[in-house]
A = this chain, B = another copy of it.
């Protein structure tokens, strides 16, 4: 089996490229060229392949998965809800219960591409006794189970951890990446270099065989808006950029996770440009970013602002933030709210980088003639919430009643 990248490099147009070309309204030769150059990836899931990168609509990801404290069944329901409200991909981060079984149930309940973070299962099942072979075994097992993409924190080196130890007082929030922290913990416990970096080529070979997309995690992202991008973050970003090229050379598709977390609004544009530049325009995955910290309980709204700015600046793929962020494992309702806010961010970002959408125009035309169902059909949640709030007043609504500006002006502007 060849990967989409290998096909693209040899100029072969695949079925998956055909599917994407139709869905995304992109010329298939341009798509193929961008896959070949690493600017676009296709995350594979039969019939629901998802492409991410330059010139395509911003995609949205939902993180979920069992925590040490959660009921596993609700994770399956969350996956269903996330897909219902339009997530493009799901990342299963389960760390308790029968992890293989949960993943399998998520596969059975959804149709979108599924991502995992292999270090999670490795640590959950083996604590820090997980030897390198065990970690690689889990990567193989997850790849075999049909996972579309792995998040791997390969660019966190021992040297960086020593620097972090020295300089940690310069960072308010230290390290806030869970996958990064677990990778670091493994390295400390085993007095070893990063297991993903050491075994990078072996891992690439596993991924290439199944065309699993490599998502290069960023462990060093900032955890509050007062923590600016520092040398640790840049060092990791630069190593990730190198690893991305190596992975592409080995035929593996790559997404780079960058920036993310908490970023002052004024820095978002420049940080996106920085990541895009050093990675030669590879697909950029961003969590949030949160442009403020005191929106706790409403982090999905703050992240919508940061996500819109990041996407507008060129980020290709946004990870949702739920209202439960920083507080606890989200419930089903919070997953829904997180997805919708993230889709709003992606839509606004797309209006900035790709132009205004026809759906906004269609809704406005329906709004002008008080065609309510026509409006709701265009709405981001298919009008579910709008229907709940709509209160009819003789065709208009109860906000203005008979003083509806549209109706008042229609009367006088008619010829």
- Point out residues on A near B: beta carbons under 8 Å: 67-70, 95-96, 123, 161, 164-165, 168, 172-178, 180-182, 184-185, 188, 223-227, 264-266, 291-298, 301-302, 304-305, 308-309, 312, 323-330, 334, 340-341, 344-345, 347-348, 351-352, 356-357, 359-361, 363-365, 367-368, 375-376, 378-381, 383-391, 393, 397-406, 408-413, 415
Contacts and interface: CB of A to CB of B under 8 A. Distances in A.
Nearest to A177: B405
A380 B341 contact: no
B391 A328 contact: yes
A401 B224 contact: no
Query: Which interface residue of A68, A305, A344, A351 has the most chain B CB atoms within 10 A?
Result: A305
B329 A291 contact: no
A99 B186 CA distance: 68
Q: Is the interface of A mostly helix, strand, loop or mixed?
A: helix
A311 to B, nearest CB: 10
Highest count of chain B CB atoms <10 Å: which of A185, A309, A328, A368? A328
Contact of A379 (B68, B297, B411): B297
Given A69-B393, A223-B364, A308-B305, A185 B329 contact: no
Nearest to A386: B297
Copies of this chain, whole number? 2
17 contacts: A69-B393, A174-B409, A184-B412, A185-B412, A226-B356, A265-B312, A291-B348, A292-B347, A295-B380, A297-B383, A297-B386, A298-B344, A298-B381, A302-B348, A309-B309, A323-B389, A328-B390
B344 A292 contact: yes
Contacts of A172: 361, 364-365, 368
Nearest to A376: B296
A347 B295 contact: yes
Given A178-B405, A181-B409, A389-B323, A328 B297 contact: no
Among A308, A399, A415, max chain B CB count under 10 A is at A399
B225 A356 contact: yes
